[in-house]
Amino acid sequence: MESQSVILRVNGPVIFADHMGFAGLGEQVDVGNEKLTGEIISLANDVATIQVYEDTTGLKPGEPVVGRGEPLSVWLGPGILRSIYDGIQRPLSKLHDFSGTFLKRGLSTPGIDIEKRWAFTPRRSVGDAVVALSIVGDVPETELITHRVMVPPRLSGTLSWIAEAGDYTVTDIIAKVATDKGEREITMLQKWPIREPRPIAKRLPPRVPMITGQRVIDFLFPAARGGACAIPGGFGTGKTVTQHQLAKWSDVDVIVYIGCGERGNEMTQVLEEFPVLIDPHSGKPIMERTSLIANTSNMPVTAREASIYTGITMAEFYRDMGYHVAVMADSTSRWAEALREISGRLEQMPAEEGYPAYLASRIGDVYERAGRTEIAEADGSTREGSLTIIGAVSPPGGDFSEPVVTHTKRFVRTFWGLDRELASARHFPSIHWNTSYSEYDVSAWYVEHAELPWTELRDRTRALLKEDERLQNIVKLIGADALPDRQRIVIESSRLVKEAFLQQSAFSEVDSYCPIEKQLAMIDTILTFHECALKASSDGKPVHQILSAPIVEEIHRMKESIRSDELDRFNEMKRKIEASF
């Protein structure tokens, strides 16, 4: 039901409209003569406060405001993948066709092509019992992803009719479900409010690692499928490249990349690289399993605030199909700045550093939508899906004590802290081993899938790095040559861990991705060197001969010289180490 009122006053992206008592909180509205998209965020007496998702320049009091009778929602169906959207799911390619290079205001186009026909194959028959999220048919959305047409949430009953195999649009009826309250029609298209999490019937513990091929992550600070992760770091520390690596190499089915308030040149690089990037797992273009949301820093600030929710809602849709999905949000700091600006326009009481008092709860709302889930069919069969959220944080000056980082740490369980000194030394990924952590217990998975003992190797490596950190403080005072032989060996072994293992080039054909088997073989080789060196030193061998042995240089080169299909060479190297000492 449409309703109309007029603008009272305009304050940047926030407008105030009267005679809105009939409207609902969160309702989507068309603002002004150009029908700009907006959302009601507050109702007081008969006046609505509306945040507008487009530039409000030129809006005047007295222009009409029309309610749409529904909350701000995204369109869910085949066609999401391979698409590039703005913050409120308007396809940028379609907007470009309508307006050219510079986007005009007030343009509105569906998030999914409603005229394109998709090949639908039914999975169910008339008379079958269905429940919420039951799969009734398949659509080949891309070469990599089959779109699974589902019964909408909170709907169950019996299939009274289902379409035959054929080509249909997303608005065509492809099934009917008989329920206690009558017959419901099902199409390929669903709409869902972006601020409402899609319901989860059963959560599974996050105990399966998301393999990324990045050694510092998989070995030291693993992310779990369905986990919440943060990558904080100052300017130039490699947040965006790290997220590109995760998007390219992670063993997930679907990627939703959200460029939230990033600089235009960075987002342009993403938009240019992703369409031509080849998925290393399948050899197909990575866009076949990717959806991009481009909302740069010069686009309307309120759309930046909505873009995170838009991307997560689309990701939840694919999670419900039974896919493993990863959301890359770059960056949540820009999203928090949008909250701060809107809060200031609303004249709300500021909290720390000007952020609104509800900053922590909003950050929690975002990360708590991550999870690993089990979806049950009416016949008792189940499928598993997961949504992993990886948010980059850009604290001013790299200050990890600022509010966005501090509150983010309350809700994530994996924290990959990027270090400016490592980045300046060209050590990438610049994830620091002393400030980062992971609270996910994935040891049972490694026991089942890895030959070498991951937990033991990890504990020994962390102990070695911890001792090295203590010794580095002494080295600054008296120099390394003044240390006892054992401690000099500890420093050299730690240097091998940092440079030959943790350091990894994103641009190397051999080392850009490192499988788990090679990771464990590499660190086992370094720890073997450490134990043999300590034994040789205790037997009286001079430390300078140990540290200058030719095998040390071979260990440095092993990440490039030994390919992933040549793991037997690590056993040869271990035998050579033992023979050397």
Amino acid at 284: K
> In whole angstroms, how large is the CA radius of gyration of the chain?
27
Q: Decide whether 118-188 matches 200-438 in CATH topology.
A: no
Mean pLDDT of 427-448: 96
Cα 474–chain centre separation = 40
Distance of alpha carbon 119 from alpha carbon 60, whole angstroms: 47
Q: Evaluate whether 308 touches 258 at the Cβ level (below 8 Å).
A: yes
Handedness of CA 212, 217, 222, 225 (dihedral sign): negative
pLDDT mean over 385-406: 94
pLDDT of residue 2: 47
Choose among 202, 169, 203, 205: nearest CA to 187: 169
Look at the domain 3-70 and name its fold: Elongation Factor Tu (Ef-tu); domain 3 (2.40.30)
Residue 3, pLDDT > 70, answer no
Instruction: Look at residue 496 and tell me whether its pLDDT is greater than 90.
Output: yes
Give me the residue label for tokens 């700091």. Answer: 333
Q: How far apart are CA 555 and CA 273, in angstroms?
A: 34
pLDDT reported for residue 267: 76
Domain locations along the chain = 3-70, 118-188, 200-438, 450-580
pLDDT of residue 49: 94
Query: What integer pLDDT is reported at residue 235 of this predicted model?
Result: 86
Taking the whole predicted model, whether its pTM rises above 0.85 is answered as yes
Query: Which pLDDT score is estimated for 482?
Result: 84
Maximum distance among all alpha carbons in the chain? 91
The pair of structure tokens assigned to 396 is 């001013």
Helix (H) or strand (E) holding 303: helix 301-321
Q: According to the model, what pLDDT value does residue 317 have?
A: 98
Phi/psi of residue 357, each to 5°?
Answer: -65, -20
Q: Domain 200-438 classified CATH 3.40.50.300?
A: yes
Confidence of residue 1 (pLDDT cuts 50, 70, 90): very low
Give pLDDT tens digits for 397-414. Answer: 889 999 999 999 999 999
65-109 residue pLDDT tens: 999 999 999 999 999 999 999 999 999 888 878 877 777 788 888
Q: Which CATH number fits domain 450-580: 1.10.1140.10, 1.10.287.1260, 1.10.10.10, 3.30.200.20?
A: 1.10.1140.10
pLDDT for 498-557, tens place per residue? 999 999 999 899 999 999 999 999 999 999 999 999 999 999 899 889 888 999 999 999
Q: Is the pLDDT of residue 326 over 70?
A: yes
Estimate to the nearest angstrom the gap between the alpha carbon of 368 and the chain centroid: 13
pLDDT tens per residue across span 48-69: 999 999 889 899 999 999 999 9
Name the fold adopted by 118-188.
OB fold (Dihydrolipoamide Acetyltransferase, E2P) (2.40.50)
